[in-house]
Amino acid sequence: MLKVPEHQVAGHIASDGKLGPLVDDQGRFFKPLQGDSRGEHEAKFYESFTSNKKVPDHIHRYFPVYHGTQLVEASDGSGKLPHLVLDDVVSGYSNPSVMDVKIGSRTWYPDVSEEYFKKCIKKDKETTTVSLGFRVSGFKIFDHQESSFWRAEKKLVLGYNAAGARLALRKFVSSNSPADSNLIPNCAFASEVYGGSNGILVQLLELKDWFETQTLYHFNSCSILMIFENESILTKGGDNVQAVQAQVKLVDFAHVLDGNGVIDHNFLGGLCSFIKFIKDILQSIDQRDETNTSPLENGH
């Protein structure tokens, strides 16, 4: 009963006999253990993290719930392979918009092989990892006009500069047609998705607080997933689209290391930069709203 996940936006995708994650219809996500010990490493991280009493409960909820490993039929037809069993973080949504943002100004870390270092730093320099401290890895948006998903092209996403990343973060929370690159994103959902008391920004700030003091783990090459759902609601004025259930999740732990008493300054620095991008969008919305309403307020 396992199938290819519909809402994955980055990483290995199961298809055409390729190995990739699978989901069931009970809300479970099956991630094949990657070769060269990375899979084992990720499983060990989940074991350690899940039982770690030093991690506060309000932080645990930013991570997928782990249910151990299990042998399941692999997506590439190679027979039964060990998979991590996780809660499928998008299973509660009908039409989730999803963005994957890899955090940190480097994806390599001390003591990796020269080969791995070179591969990582090349990509870190080519993308916004070095310059911004994060890079958008992929995203998809539910397009209400088309009633279908629009998916950003991987090649374009990895070619973003600072302006491209900023535009993608605006587009992600906009209701005008994502496929038309001539339209300026209207940021219709920005205040609901990024802002508000349960929005993305509040969640990122909670994570930041923890990262300022936690010295348990260094989250090398991890991603933040942002997930939300647009609900089309019929109102007097016509169709009104509202965004709900904005959620942040951390994923991809194949390169997590022990913190050894030092904070994860690489993740924290990138997270702070990402937070500033989100704040800038919210501020631009506020200013726009003020500009729109000021003539009325001034009695004109």
**3-state secondary structure (DSSP) of residue 267:** helix
8 A C-beta contact, residue 88 and residue 79: no
Question: In whole angstroms, how close is the CB of 261 to its own copies at the nearest point?
Answer: 7
Nearer to its own copies, 55 or 271 (CB): 271
Nearer to its own copies, 23 or 132 (CB): 132
Question: In whole angstroms, how close is the CB of 30 to its own copies at the nearest point?
Answer: 34
Bridge partners of residue 29, in order along the sequence: 23, 86
Specify the residue for token string 């055409």: 16
Nearer to its own copies, 66 or 211 (CB): 211
Nearer to its own copies, 79 or 261 (CB): 261
Report the phi/psi class of residue 299: left, alpha or beta, with left for phi > 0 and alpha for psi in -120 to 50: left
Nearer to its own copies, 75 or 214 (CB): 214
Question: In whole angstroms, how close is the CB of 108 to its own copies at the nearest point?
Answer: 9
R_g over Cα of the chain: 20
Residue 291 phi, psi dihedral angles, 5° rounding: -60, -40
Q: How far apart are CA 92 and CA 266, in angstroms?
A: 32
Residue 156, both tokens: 């374009």
8 A C-beta contact, residue 74 and residue 25: no
Question: In whole angstroms, how close is the CB of 198 to its own copies at the nearest point?
Answer: 22
Nearer to its own copies, 103 or 141 (CB): 103
Question: In whole angstroms, how close is the CB of 268 to its own copies at the nearest point?
Answer: 5
Nearer to its own copies, 82 or 259 (CB): 259
Give me the DSSP letters along 122-189. Answer: HHHHHSSHHHHSEEEEEEEEEETTTTEEEE--HHHHHT--HHHHHHHHHHTT--S-TT-TTSPP--TT
Question: In whole angstroms, how close is the CB of 45 to its own copies at the nearest point?
Answer: 20
CA angle 266, 48, 209 (to 5 degrees): 40
Which residues of this protein are in contact with its own copies, per CB under 8 A?
105-106, 110, 125, 130-133, 162, 212-213, 215, 260-263, 265-266, 268-270, 272-273, 276, 280
Question: In whole angstroms, how close is the CB of 269 to its own copies at the nearest point?
Answer: 3
Residue 185 phi, psi dihedral angles, 5° rounding: -55, 130
